[in-house]
Amino acid sequence: MKQGETEEEGQRKNLNKGKTTSDADENEAPGKEPQSDLEPEAPANVDRKELSIEELKSELDEKDKLAEEYYDRLLRIQAEFENYKKRTEKELAEYRAYANAKLIQDLLLVLDDFQNALTSDNEDSDVKYKRGFELIYKNFYGVLEREGVSEIKAQNEKFDPYKHEAVEIIPREDQPEHTVLGVVSPGYKYKDKILRPAKVQVATQPKVDEEKSKEAGKKNNDEKE
């Protein structure tokens, strides 16, 4: 204690000095980082994060370009398909409109035969007409055959309700039942499809008269006796 200082003043100075020393010791305590006016350093992985973002942006741009390319290609394919569809519909319409052109050309030849037959000389007209119409029939039937039309066989065939139409039933003992005896009107088929059935006469077994049957049975019994 210095001279001239009271005892109370000396105690106050010592108290303030101890408090200051305690604060200094706390600041220098182990495990405590010293305060600094410098800003904290940035983490080391910041650069890597920034690089990764740049890579993602680059990949996204590439994907956008690829998507645009695919979209343009899709538009071109769609346009080509629409053109193909229109072209096919046009060709189909033309085919339907002129599908019978070849048939008509062949029928024109038959028409020429009719004209030649009608304009022929009158000498021996009956014979010439007959020959002319025979030729016309032959040519016309040839046209139908080339197109796939054929006559249905009926004469002496067994009656087939799918191919034949019975217009007359004739009792016949000398023919098997359901045999076609005659053709009233020929039938035709186009490839495997029936265009019209043949109208035919069909044989059937004659019915036996009951009285005659009894008499025949009685006669047989008398002969046995």
Q: Exposure string (b/e) for 146-179, b if CB count within 10 Å is 16 or more?
A: eeeeeebebeebebeeebbbbeeeeebeebeebb
Residue 89 tokens, joined: 């519909």
The crossing angle, in degrees rounded to 10, of helices 101-118 and 125-146 is 170
Is the pLDDT at 206 greater than 60? The verdict is yes
Q: How confident is the model at residue 125 (pLDDT cuts 50, 70, 90)?
A: low
The pLDDT value recorded for residue 115 is 74
Digit-coded pLDDT (tens) for 24-38: 454 454 444 554 454
Report which DSSP code applies to 158: B
- List the domains of the chain with CATH numbers: 150-214 (2.30.22.10)
Which one-letter amino acid corresponds to residue 64?
D
Q: Is the pTM of this model over 0.75?
A: no
Report which DSSP code applies to 59: H
The pLDDT value recorded for residue 141 is 86
Digit-coded pLDDT (tens) for 59-116: 888 888 889 999 999 999 999 999 999 999 988 888 877 777 777 778 887 878 777 7
Q: Is the Cβ–Cβ distance between 206 and 171 less than 8 Å?
A: yes
Q: How confident is the model at residue 49 (pLDDT cuts 50, 70, 90)?
A: low
